[in-house]
Chains A and B, each alone.
Chain A
Amino acid sequence: VPVPVLVLSAAPAAWLPALQLLRRGSKAVTRHWKAMHFQRQKLLALTEYVRPRPAVPPRCLPRRAPEGQQEDGYARVLRRQVEQTLRGSRMVAVCQYNSLPEEDVATLRHFLRRHNIHVHFVFNEVVRPVLAQSKYRNLLPLFVCRNILLVSPQAPAREMLRVLKGVPQVNLLGACIDDTILSRQGVENFARLPSLEASQGQTVAALSLLSSQTSSLLQRGPAHLTALLDQHIRRLRDTGAATEPPLGQSTGDH
């Protein structure tokens, strides 16, 4: 049995009609949709929901980046791998990669591996933050399209260029060899340089050049004198004049 409850509402006390006659036959709750009084229909039409319409539509405003992007564990692992490879390599070459068939990729990998060059396929979105924090900051503009990294603990530039020349789909963009950023021309020049042993030998030779010349420098005066006197003897012998040769004494003094 429903108990009449006194309801205290914040709204002001309204004027209620004394008698509410039930004119229509059906009850309040019906199975069918009960026809509404016209006044009620008007009231419902008046009090419908009106959507807020901002002066600038939201699609004209700049879109905010979606928030709540969780740090991907896989991306973290890849980044750590890239950091490790960069740390342990002397040469880092960035090449643009156009699609190759799989066996060609395997062959390229094999030829480069022969010269101890490792091939790494990298994702730009993984590599960019790693590079931005490391010393290879200036290589960032190269990482735009599909790239591969050729890393090596030595710097076999000549072999690398030779292999890459036979693969037109892989283009060298730039490299960082021994903490020096080189462009494509720079790498070619670097390849044309003589090897370390040869250049070391050249340096040693250049440095010891002066010391090797000291003895010949010192002997230059007497050698010049000896030559002059020899020529003098020859001229005298030619003229046939028999002069006492003081040559033996003069050369004996020096």
Chain B
Amino acid sequence: PAGPGGVAVHRAGLKKWALPPDYSGITIPEKPKLKYMDKVPAVPKVQREPRRLRDIRGPSQVATDFIQGQYGILALGGGYLHWGHFEMIRLTIGRSIDPKSMFAVWRVPAPYKSVTQKSLGHRMGGGKGPVDHFVTAVKSGRLVVEVGGRCEFEEVQPFLACVAQKLPFPAVPVSRESLQEMRREEEEKRLDNQNPWTFERVVASNMLGMRKYLSPYDLRLKGRYWGKFFLKHRV
């Protein structure tokens, strides 16, 4: 701050103490740690199921918002989680949280989709291979785990980021506020875009016959998704 004559006048103001956070409405459930997820479902399917990669494609319609916890891991791409991933998440989070004051909750089901694998070194043909392992499909925009309790985002962020890095799809730790902020920014971007040509508009009215080179799914995905990838920078 400049005083008379442009000289800086140093002054110490009153220190504004922030109030400690209010954790009055938070109850820790009986089993605060993450549940163990089976490798194989209790009733394993005998019939081998087709690949159906459309369960990876596009935005998620389920588990997009917080239920119990305040912080979580948001998937920014599609992918399959297998038992190894589940164990990694369970053990890392179990190691890092304090069960007396924090809790964690799964937002994805145990592996249910069977994945077949032909034995190595064989030529094509001979039918579909046997079931190798089971996976869970995760679409982008879905929460994987939720963490809550008497803690701040800064405490939780390091180990959630560690877990998010090891997942097979790009993921990021979020809190309720940061997720809201992300959505708000996205909406703002969509509204104040100065480009009169949007993907949505071009595809919907099939300008220049673009739909010859695009998929019918692009009507719904609006250029923000390509395969299992989520294009964050697209409006």
| Residues of A near any B CB (own CB < 8 A) | 2, 9, 11-12, 14-17, 27-31, 33-34, 36-37, 39-40, 43-44, 46-53, 72, 74-75, 78, 123-126, 144-146
Q: By the criterion CB–CB under 8 Å, are B210 and A145 in contact?
A: no
CA distance A12 to B229 in the complex (A): 29
Given A29-B227, A72-B16, A49:B213 Cβ within 8 A: no
The 4 tightest CB contacts between A and B, nearest first, are A11-B204, A14-B206, A29-B53, A49-B235
**Once the chains bind, are A39 and B57 in contact (CB under 8 Å)?**
no
Residue from B223, B226, B228 within 8 A of A47 (CB atoms): B223
A17 surroundings in chain B (CB, below 8 A): 211-212
| Other contacts beyond A29-B228, A126-B14: 14, CB < 8 A | A11-B204, A15-B209, A17-B211, A17-B212, A28-B54, A29-B57, A44-B223, A44-B234, A47-B195, A47-B223, A49-B195, A50-B194, A74-B14, A146-B11
Q: Hey, which chain A residues are within 8 Å of B216, CB to CB?
A: 16
User: What's the nearest-Cβ distance from chain B to residue A20, in Å?
Assistant: 8
- Chain B 189-232 per-residue mask, 1 if CB under 8 angstroms from chain A, else 0: 10011110111001011100111111111010001001111000
A145→B233 CA distance, assembly (Å): 50
Query: A29 and B206 in contact (CB under 8 A), knowing A37-B213, A51-B194?
Result: no
Instruction: Identify B199's interface contact among A28, A34, A44, CB under 8 A.
Output: A44
A72 contact set on B, CB distance < 8 A = 14, 16-17
Binding site secondary structure of chain B: loop
Asked if A49 and B233 make an inter-chain contact with CB atoms under 8 angstroms apart, the answer reads yes
Contacts of B56 in A (CB 8 A): 29
Cross-chain pair count, CB within 8 angstroms:
99
Show 21 residue pairs from A and B whose CB-CB distance is below 8 angstroms, ordered by the A residue: A12-B205, A14-B211, A15-B209, A28-B57, A29-B56, A29-B57, A30-B227, A30-B228, A34-B226, A39-B213, A40-B213, A43-B214, A44-B199, A48-B235, A49-B234, A50-B194, A72-B16, A74-B17, A123-B13, A123-B14, A145-B9
Max chain A CB contacts within 10 Å: which of B54, B202, B227, B229? B227
Determine how close the nearest CB of chain B comes to the CB of A201; give it in whole angstroms.
48
A residues near B57, Cβ cutoff 8 Å: 28-29
Closest B residue, CB atoms, query A47? B199
- The proximity string for B residues 62-84 relative to A, scoring 1 for CB distances below 8 Å and 0 otherwise, is 00000000000000001000000
Cβ–Cβ contact A48 & B195, under 8 A = yes
Q: What is the CB-to-nearest-CB distance from A73 to chain B, in angstroms, rounded to a whole number?
A: 9
B170 → chain A closest CB, angstroms: 13
B14–A9 CB distance below 8 A: no
- Taking beta carbons and an 8 Å cutoff, which residues of B are in contact with A? 9, 11, 13-14, 16-17, 53-54, 56-57, 78, 189, 192-195, 197-199, 202, 204-206, 209-217, 219, 223, 226-229, 233-235
Main secondary structure, interface of A, reads loop
- A44–B11 Cα gap in the complex (Å)? 54
Known: A15-B209, A39-B213, A124-B11. A2 touches B54 (CB 8 A): yes
Task: Please indicate which of the listed interface residues B9, B14, B189, B229 has the most CB atoms of chain A within 10 Å of its own CB.
Answer: B14
Task: Please measure, in the bound complex, the distance between the C-alpha atom of A124 and the C-alpha atom of B3, giving whole angstroms.
Answer: 15
A48 to B195, CA, bound (A): 7
Separation of A43 and B223 alpha carbons in the complex (Å): 9
| Cα–Cα, bound, A146→B3 (Å) | 14
| Smallest CB separation, A180 vs chain B (Å) | 28
A43, B14: Cβ atoms closer than 8 Å = no
**Cβ A47 vs Cβ B198 within 8 A:** yes
Are B227 and A34 in touch, CB under 8 angstroms?
yes
Min CB distance, B115 to chain A, in Å? 13
Q: Which residues of chain B come closer than 8 Å to A145, judged between CB atoms?
A: 9, 11
Pair A125/B13 contact, Cβ less than 8 Å: yes
Docked Cα-Cα span, A34 to B209, in Å, equals 22
* CA A2 to CA B14, docked complex, whole Å: 64
Evaluate contact between B193 and A49: CB separation under 8 angstroms. yes
Residues of chain B within 8 A (CB-CB) of A16 are 206, 211, 216
